[in-house]
A and B are shown apart, each in its own frame.
Chain A
Amino acid sequence: MPIVTALYLAYLAAPILLLAVGSFGELWTNTLLPTGATTRWYEEVWSDPSFRRAFGVSLTVCAATCAATALIGVPLAYAIYSAAGRGVRVAARVLYLLPVAAPPLVLGFGFILVFSSDALPFLGTSWLLVAGHVVLTLPYLMQTLVADMRHLDLATLERAGESLGAGFFARLFDIVLPSLRHSLASGLIMVAALSIGEFQLSNLIAGFLSRPYPVVLLQAFYGATGFACAGTMVLLLLAFTAALGSAVAGRGVSLRQGGV
Chain B
Amino acid sequence: MNKAPALTLALAAPGLAVLALFFLLPLGVVVAEAFRGDALARFLANRELVASLLNSLVLGVEAAAVALVIGIAVALHLARLPPGRRALIQVVIALPLTFSGLIIAYGFILVLGRAGFVTMLLARLGADPATVASFLFSEWGLVLAYTYYLTPRVILMLVPVFANFDERQLQAAESMGASRLRALADVMVPQIAPTVAAAFALVAAVAIGAYGTALALVGTQINILPLRLYSMVADSGADFPLAAAVSVVLLAVCSLLMAAAEIAAASSEARHAQH
Contacts and interface: CB of A to CB of B under 8 A. Distances in A.
- A touching B, CB within 8 angstroms: yes
A102 B209 CA distance: 8
A-side binding surface: helix, strand, loop or mixed? helix
Interface string A11-33: 11011101100100000111111
Nearest to A115: B26
Among A8, A75, A251, find the residue whose CB has the most chain B CB atoms closer than 10 A. Answer: A8
Interface in B85-141: 87, 89, 91-111, 115-117, 120-121
Given A82-B8, A243-B94, A76 B209 contact: no
Nearest to A213: B100
B102 A18 contact: no
B275 interface: no
B100 A235 contact: yes
A79 B9 contact: yes
A30 B120 contact: yes
A93 B26 CA distance: 21
A124 B91 CA distance: 36
B202 interface: yes
Contacts of A193: 98
Contacts of A73: 15
A199 interface: yes
A232 interface: yes
Given A106-B251, A260-B87, A203 B210 contact: no
B143 to A, nearest CB: 13
Q: How large is the interface on A (under 10, 10 to 19, 20 to 34, 35 or more residues)?
A: 35 or more
Contact of A190 (B1, B92, B98, B233): B98
Interface in B65-90: 70, 73-74, 76-78, 80, 83-84, 87, 89
A101 B76 contact: no
Q: How large is the interface on B (under 10, 10 to 19, 20 to 34, 35 or more residues)?
A: 35 or more
B67 to A, nearest CB: 11
B106 A247 contact: no
Given A194-B98, A243-B94, A100 B202 contact: yes
Given A4-B77, A109-B229, A260-B87, A114 B209 contact: no
Interface string B25-59: 11111100100000000000000000000000000
B88 to A, nearest CB: 9
Interface stretch (B167-175, B184-192, B254-262): B254-262
A37 B178 CA distance: 62
A246 B91 CA distance: 10
B211 A105 contact: yes
B102 A235 contact: yes
A221 interface: yes
A28 B115 contact: yes
B215 interface: yes
A112 to B, nearest CB: 7
A5 B110 contact: no
Given A2-B77, A18-B107, A235-B103, A103 B251 contact: yes
A200 interface: yes
B151 interface: yes
B270 interface: no
B65 to A, nearest CB: 16
7 contacts: A1-B76, A5-B73, A14-B111, A105-B250, A135-B19, A204-B230, A239-B100
Interface of B: 1, 3, 5, 8-9, 11-12, 14-16, 18-19, 21-23, 25-30, 33, 70, 73-74, 76-78, 80, 83-84, 87, 89, 91-111, 115-117, 120-121, 148, 151, 202, 205-206, 209-212, 215-216, 226, 229-230, 233-234, 240, 243-244, 247, 250-251, 254-255, 258-259, 262
Interface of A: 1-2, 4-5, 8-9, 11-12, 14-16, 18-19, 22, 28-33, 68, 71-73, 75-76, 78-80, 82-84, 93, 95, 97-98, 100-114, 131-132, 134-135, 138, 155, 190, 193-194, 196-200, 203-204, 214, 217-218, 221, 225, 228-229, 232, 235-236, 239-240, 242-244, 246-247, 251, 254, 259-260
